[in-house]
Structure 1
Amino acid sequence: MPWCTRSEIREVSNEAQKIHDDIRHGQLLIHAHAHDGHTTVAVGTYLGRNGKSVYLHGEDHLRQVADTFDSPAGALLAFEKVHRAEMRPGPAPLTDTERAAAQTRTPLALTAAKPEPARPETQTVPAYLANADDHDALLDTFLDAHGAWEKWRTFSDDTTHAIHESQTLRIERVHEAHPRETAWTVAAYETPVSDRMWHLTATGTTPAPVLQTLLHHLADGDRWDTAIGSPITDKTVTAATKPLTDAGWQHTVDGRWLRWTNASQDAGVQFDAFAAQNPNSPLATWTVWAGPSINQPTWAACASVYTPANLLADLAEELAHGTGTRPARAAQDRHTKESVSSLPAAPIQGPSTRPRH
């Protein structure tokens, strides 16, 4: 930038740093990137109800917003028109400068050898009481086994995006989410540039067997549907909850809420009839949960109105009949630990209200 004054150089660099920080902290979601022959270009959307979509040009301290759009669909169409041949989904790989900066933030690994801790005894428990295990390892195993999915990391490495080759089904995994906040978001689209059709979220404490059931369903391309949903009916609700009914779970009606709970009242599924009749509402139509109560769950998964009934039925089947493992003492003391947990009480996180791309 030899033609710029000192203050102009500072202004350009500050703007580039802000863009970098927005990407790193997950405030700016990058949909696709390309190389125009000289530098990296990208298209993304700022998260939030009124988030704008932007066309980015340049790398490191020269990155800048070159254009803005009213919607993600418009931004993607314009980007694809210019960069169709070079266009790739997700953010671009880290530059040398960004990689070096990330490495400086990584604490030095401890070199002292430590004895391996004794493995605690485990016992088999219902799936909804099982350990969460390593969610990142679950996602990596899923991606390694299914070549139709491609993995993308954000600049800050605190979020992973997994995108199906059709680009109509996407997974977002937030690695350092608060245990009671959304750590997983699955979203389906009718086309790569259409509005979101349905979505499902899960908290960071969701048991491994439940997540494995979800991922297994997503791996079966003949079973998930990204077509425009139809109004939900009694038949849809019956199909989604049949495994719970067959297992004898208690069915109650409380105003607009239909609930199915197990005998010990520490796991269940809730259907919100009001949310089902208002598809644009941020409220969750379906909530799958376990813990002291639905208002203070140990973990929860929330789904929007058009979430496929067969996916919900798979999760219900896992709740009713699935099993997993957890340390024996933790299983025995779970009620005591939950009552004195240092985690602050928080409302159930409904489906993501982020922009639909």
Structure 2
Amino acid sequence: MKAFAYYTESRKKKTTTIKDIANKAGVSISTVSRILNFDTTLSVTDATRARVLHVAEEMEYKPRRKKTPKTTTKIAVIQWHSEKQELNDLYYLQIQYAIENTVQSSGAALQYVTTENFNEAVNSTFSGIIALGKYGHQEMLDIAAKKLPVVFVGQNSLADGFDSVTSDYVSPVKWIIDHYLAAGIQDIGLIVGQEATSIGHQEIKDTRLQAFETFGQAAGVYTPEHVFVGAFTPESGYALMNEAIDQLGDKLPHGFIVGNDAMAVGVIRALNEHDLPIPERVSLISFNDVAVAKYTSPRLSTVHAYTDLMGAGAVQLLQERISDPKRVARQFNYATKLILRESSK
């Protein structure tokens, strides 16, 4: 028995179909399929693309709860990503849905703001702030200058004295390495994104990259030439895998850890174009388990992040902070789960 949390998902498990999404979104099955696979040759508006991706996430994960009577509580949610970026990385969209569901069930009001209009949009009529994404120390202080309770989601902000909500992205890297080794794969690569603080002032070394260096070295499988860093987008995943194929040739690793599901879609496209079969030649395991992971071919093995609990936890921490402004800062770090599908041995 393996000593890590995982399960193998069966195709027989009932799930939302592409036809279900197409019917609700009001588009063709072909359009849904191409959007879920981030087909760059598809000519549709951003609004249509957003509608399909939002419907896929809602139907797969986030059934809406009934609204309760409104209270005087009003919460601001700072959106770190632009709308276009959000369509490439649905992780924060999932968290937003969870925040919406939790806030609606409490009867509070919710208002989304951006980092650009935050100062003008947020005032003393708000009860608190939930900040999604990555922020530098000065940016945190600028947000806190509003003198409102605040919770950061997506980074550990305890060192700066703020409540925060995160997912465990460290343990899964070891699980994946152990899984690959158990499957006889000893050459392992990493394709991951590089993030920066909200207005791009400070690059942040990705947790998965740090964990891969630590656990990979301990297991004797870390090779710097097998690490490729770009952006958390399908286009970057595609470019990075092509770079890996060009540089490594026959020495291309037989197993890759990919930073998120969107990147993995691009990785799959590059491997298919080079006639490198998945998982027979290259196994892939990615992160987040957004809806698109179930519609790739083959379906993606991935690390499930409990974004529903993260969103609810952010609201809970904020409510506690509103009730007790002077309490010691806390962090909710939620466990994750490795889900094995067809993209990995």
Larger Rg: 1
Identify the TM-score tier after normalising by the shorter chain.
under 0.3
- Where is the helix percentage greater, Structure 1 or Structure 2? 2
Higher relative contact order structure (alpha carbons within 8 Å, sequence separation ≥ 6): 2
- Where is the strand percentage greater, Structure 1 or Structure 2? 1
